[in-house]
Amino acid sequence: MSTLAVYPGSFDPLTNGHVDIITRGARLFDRIIVAIAANAEKSPLFSMAERIEIAGAVFKSMPNVEIETFDGLLVDYVERRRAQVIVRGLRAVSDFEYEFQMALMNRRLNGKIETIFMMPAEQYSYISSRLIKEVFSLGGRVHGLVPDMVEDRLRTKVGAP
Ligand code: PNS
């Protein structure tokens, strides 16, 4: 049986922490879908089209990584795609409570789907999309923390540095 995993998130924007988890997931599962949630962020900085474009460009050389969008319940989407696994990244203990709640709620909603947690490389363990946007908009450097394409887009959207 081939294994299909779904890695859901807002990806506003994609960070190198996400890229690290997706790359690890692509080695573990036959296919992994990066599933961008349509309604997770009320006013995203990056449009859905941009988030799809960025993820598509970053993973274009990895044929077992697919990019999709979903709305509604994650478990319903995962079931529709006939995937067996939800992948989530765990950076620190602070992530645990929220992730634990989501994993157990998702299990209650659909007991056939397992959530698997993966840890990013330690150099990415403190990065979040929210922090990237905040630091960049206040003039801080985010080089090496996000794909170059994201850095370029941030510069166009937010301005220097
Ligand atoms: O990158 P994020 O913002 O941490 O991702 C959160 C996401 C999109 C995975 C979560 O909000 C989600 O699953 N949204 C879909 C709606 C849903 O199923 N909600 C119930 C989760 S228990």
Residues of the chain above pLDDT 70, percent: 99
Catalytic site positions: 18, 42, 91, 129
CA–centroid distance, 9 to ligand 1, in Å, is 6
| Average model confidence (pLDDT) across the chain | 95
**Residue nearest (by alpha carbon) to ligand 1 atom 1:** 9
Residues of the chain above pLDDT 90, percent: 91
**Residue nearest (by alpha carbon) to ligand 1 atom 5:** 9
So what's the pLDDT on residue 161? Answer: 63
**Residue nearest (by alpha carbon) to ligand 1 atom 9:** 9
Q: 0.85 exceeded by the pTM?
A: yes
Question: Residue 123 has what DSSP assignment?
Answer: G
- 63, 32 Cβ separation under 8 angstroms: no
In this predicted structure, the answer to whether residue 74 has a pLDDT above a threshold of 70 is yes
Q: Which atom of ligand 1 is nearest to the CA of 98?
A: 4
In this predicted structure, the answer to whether residue 30 has a pLDDT above a threshold of 80 is yes
Query: What residues flank ligand 1, with Cβ below 6 Å?
Result: 8-10, 37, 40, 73-74, 102, 105-106
Q: Which residues of 12-47 are buried (b: 16+ CB within 10 A; e: fewer)?
A: bbbbbbbbbbbbbbbeebebbbbbbbeeeeeebbbe
